[in-house]
Amino acid sequence: MSTGKRAGSRRGARPPRPLNKTALVIGAAITLCVVAWGYLVYAAIDFGTAAREGSSSAWTFMALACLGAIACLFVGLLLVARLMRALGITPPPSPSPDVSDSPAPPGPRPPGGKRAAR
């Protein structure tokens, strides 16, 4: 570093970044969904093993565990999309224009273009 009258840093201290509570809550929900998904997959494998050994009620429990695992994975992926939006990585969806609110389309263009209109 150099010394002298103007040797200091020209930048000020950065302000602390605020905590994004929405992203924190969504991240915790994603973690919960992934843990539940893993447990349900493990349970489905266990029930499938029991069903192959002859337990008839295990087929029902295996089917329920599979449906629960599918639901947890689907909700987790939806929450990942929400997290991306909360972090600003993806933009929010633009509102779809209503047919009644849209202005009338412009009339037909005159033949010849701008130069012929002069």
pLDDT of residue 43: 96
Mean pLDDT, 10 residues at a time, over the chain (118 residues)?
A: 65 83 95 97 95 90 96 97 92 73 71 68
Pinpoint the alpha helices (H) of 1-118. Answer: 21-52, 57-87, 113-117
pLDDT of residue 83: 95
pLDDT of residue 60: 94
pTM here? 0.66
What are the sequence ranges of the domains in the chain? Answer: 21-87
Please state, in angstroms and rounded to a whole number, the distance separating the CA atoms of residues 70 and 68.
5
